[in-house]
Amino acid sequence: MKIAVIGAGIVGLASAHALADDGHDVVVIDREGPAAGTSRGNAGWLAHTDIDPIASPKMLRQVPKFLMDPLGPLTIRKEYFFTILPWLARLILASRPGQLDQSIAAITAIQSLAMPAWTKLAKQLGIEQSIHRRGALFAFTDTDLFRRTLPHFKRQERAGISVDYLDASEVRQMEPGLSDAIIGASFFPDAAHVSDPHLITLALYESARARGIDHIKADIVAIETEPNPALLCKDRGPIYADAVVLAAGAWSKPLAAGLGDRVPLDTERGYNISFPGVTRHLNRPVSFQGHGFVSTPLDTGLRIGGAVELGGLKLPPNHDRTRAMYQKALGFFRDLPAFDQGTVWMGHRPSIPDSLPVIGHSRRSRKVVYAFGHGHYGLTQSAATGRIVADLVAERAPPIDLTRFSPQRF
């Protein structure tokens, strides 16, 4: 079959490879090009050890405090406040205990597939050296916050995830570049990160081209399904296929709506600053708990990023947020380059209120498969999602129950 994959980010390209493995004729379509969106500048974590959704009572308790600081870990752009209200209402509903338990079970299921799928894909493409298995630290500056977070870590342990608890001296033995502000940490030895998310996405693209997967630059405005799928384009004639995979990240919503699926997809705008060539500060990724940002030692340089800004796709970035995050980071590192030596970036995490991606057939036709809305875990879950997409296209039973990921669950 000829399969058209809409989206040349990490999820779309992983799906293209999985479909090609099944012998399909695959074309990837994107309005910009490979790794042009969130796959270009994310933190680079393979965070399969995370199993808690963003939607949780813990998060809701912190919202009032965060919203009082317009440059803090979470903010809503005032111009976007009324637009985001329905999404926020669904977030609150998803934080109820019963819903939360179901979301955790679903996240745990897909996260269990993540590293095996990445290991297999990396070996197949010859990019094993791009995955660094050095673990990750969740560092604390507040003993009371660590105590309150401990049940979360214990839940991970019950799910079979390895966790070690370190005091301040043990943290500094692992990461001498961190300051005395760090009083302890939880260490996840099985966590991993990639050399650089942009480069690894380009590696998937280049290997896709090498194996005959075509690429078309086009802006898709609608998907027709009868008698066979046709992609209507803004700037060229229709593109025809036997099946379609919609993996356009935060830009997937209107195309799904055109097929009768009103998915509550929005964007968590994330900010970061990267220091090219700076590789001496960390040995592994670190999440600074309670401060809303992480840092990753990419092969290409140090990256400091995170935060959540609810502001949609069109508003310009506010890099005062990036500077505020950098100012916080100065207190946690022994030495950082000056802000103006870094490169700032803002990207759009495609986010669903219950923190679960949309993976499944469209309402209108089983010839269209959705694979979007991965939020903070697009890189982590991409290879596993690609395998599931191939199963759905082939009408095979997927390796996990997809009920909680259904596009029709809303």
Q: Which residues, at least 6 apart from 237, have a Cβ–Cβ distance to it below 8 Å?
A: none
Task: Answer whether residue 66 shows pLDDT above 90.
Answer: no
Q: Give the whole-number percent of the chain exceeding pLDDT 90.
A: 87
Q: Give the whole-number percent of the chain exceeding pLDDT 70.
A: 97
Q: Which of 297, 376, 366 is nearest to 134 (CA)?
A: 297
Task: Answer whether residue 57 shows pLDDT above 80.
Answer: no
Averaged confidence pLDDT in the chain: 94
List 294's β-bridge partners, or say none. Answer: 287, 305
Task: Answer whether residue 65 shows pLDDT above 70.
Answer: no
Higher pLDDT: 198 or 52? It is 198
Dihedral sign for Cα atoms in the order 6, 12, 16, 18: negative
Exposed e or buried b for every residue in 155-167, given b needs 16+ CB within 10 A?
ebeeeebeeeebe
Report the pLDDT value the prediction gives residue 122, as an integer from 0 to 100: 98
Residue ranges and CATH numbers for the domains of the chain are 2-405 (3.50.50.60)
* Helix 97-125 with 81-94: angle, nearest 10 deg: 100
Mean pLDDT of 209-227: 96
- Say which range, 44-48, 90-94, 158-162, 271-275, has the weakest mean pLDDT: 90-94
- Prediction pTM value: 0.95
